[in-house]
Chains A and B, each alone.
Chain A
């Protein structure tokens, strides 16, 4: 799997931040869920998605 050059990752970071600001708190969860589904659909299988999800869950508190 090829890795995105850091410069592009920076652009993704900024684009995503701008998109979150654009939809605001009421739309940000929906935006991120849609984006995750779109990216998941471009993967070859579920494994990469699950690994990424596990990494994303690291160091996050569990809702009580």
Chain B
């Protein structure tokens, strides 16, 4: 499933569309502690987190994950949105809890 296909499902709000929407999502990663994410984040994964700040974007980029999905109603701050737009990162958001959000994405990947 590509980033665009996930966006087209309409289950998550698209906060920033991103530049690389043809990129394949190949898994789901959940964690909020950025140092743990740095060490363990899987390339091309959809990263489900409540951390909506500019540092999450740095971690997204450095770990080569495909996109951020902000769960639990968490929001990206204004500085983060501006950075995501200039650097072409994709950010989704949902009010669902982290586990349910991850399960939704995994179900789509398994379909």
Q: Answer yes or no: do A and B interact.
A: no
